[in-house]
Structures are given as C-alpha cells and as structure tokens.
Amino acid sequence: MFAVPNPKILLFAALGLTLAGCSSEVDPNSPEGKRQAAFKHFLSHSEPMGGMLRERLPFDGEAFAGHAQALADSVEAPWAYFPEPGDTQQKNAALPEVWSDPQGFAQAIDQYRSAVADLVVVTEQGVESPAQVTDAFTAVQQSCKGCHDGFRR
C-alpha cells in the first residue's frame, strides 16, 4: 500500500526546489563577479595577516610578507569593474558618492594603494615580529575602512 507523505514535508521539499531554482549566484565573468572576486582575494590575504597580529593564528613573518605581496600584486584588480554612473543593471553596494565624488573615490583608492605599498616595503627585509608590521597593516585596514565608510552601503 502506498502511504501519502506528510504535507509539511511536501511543502518544505517544494520550497527547497523553488529556492534552488532562484539562485542569486553572480556570473563570475560579469563585472560584478570580477569585482567581488577581487575583493574576496584581498580578504584571503588580509584576514590571515590580521589573524596573526591578533594572535588567532601563529605569527609567521614569511607568510605575512607573502600575503602583503599578494595584496600589492592585486591592488588594481577591482577598480575597473565598478558600474558606470546610472547603470542600474549591475548589483553593487556602492554609494552614489562613488560617482558624485569621483575625486574622493580616487583618493580613497590611492590611499589603499599607498598603504599596501608601504606594507610591502616594511616586509621586504624580512619580518621577525608582529611589532615590525602592525602600524603598516593598520594603515591598510584604515584605508579599507575609510573607503567603506565613505563609498559603500
């Protein structure tokens, strides 16, 4: 004999299938996908450095320097993928100030570039202790925060 499934199970199964069909994944080849990937790449290097300086991870000066260099190598990656003014098709978390204050946005990007370059200079001769890199890494973090505060939702 065939048993009728519980209606709640059917409802949850249908809801799950519906949600699976409505995936909000971003096309990795779209400008939004490339921009998001660039920022995730930044995080993949800045988070371990922050973890080392906050003693959540063991400090490894060579690895820290490698992460700093990786940030420098990718410092230009996201900027070309910001939507043009008035582009309502491309999802983004940018505030209108990105376009209404392009000089301010450019200055924030330059501060990030400069902070990352300074961090690399500090690490080039080898890193023996967190004290050698803390100030330079804090400047990188502050440049990120400054851009987020002024130009991101």
pLDDT digits over 66-107, tens only?
999 999 999 999 999 988 877 777 777 888 898 899 999 999
- Residue 3, domain member (yes or no): no
What angle is formed at CA 43 by the lines to CA 116 and CA 29, rounded to 5 degrees?
105
- Residue 102, domain member (yes or no): yes
What is the extent of the structural domain holding 33? 29-80+94-151
pLDDT digits over 18-62, tens only?
344 444 688 999 888 999 999 999 999 999 999 999 999 999 999
Nearest to 118, CA basis, from 131, 136, 106: 136
Q: What is the pLDDT of residue 92?
A: 75
Give the model's confidence band at 153: pLDDT under 50 very low, under 70 low, under 90 confident, else very high. confident
pLDDT of 148 > 80? The answer is yes
Tell me the two tokens of residue 43. 């995080």
Instruction: Give the residue ranges of the annotated binding site for heme c.
Output: 144, 147-148
Number of domains in the chain: 1
pTM (two decimals):
0.80
* Residue keyed to tokens 């995936």: 23
CATH number at residue 48: 1.20.120.10
- Residue 87, domain member (yes or no): no
Q: At what angle do helices 134-151 and 31-53 cross, to 10 degrees?
A: 140
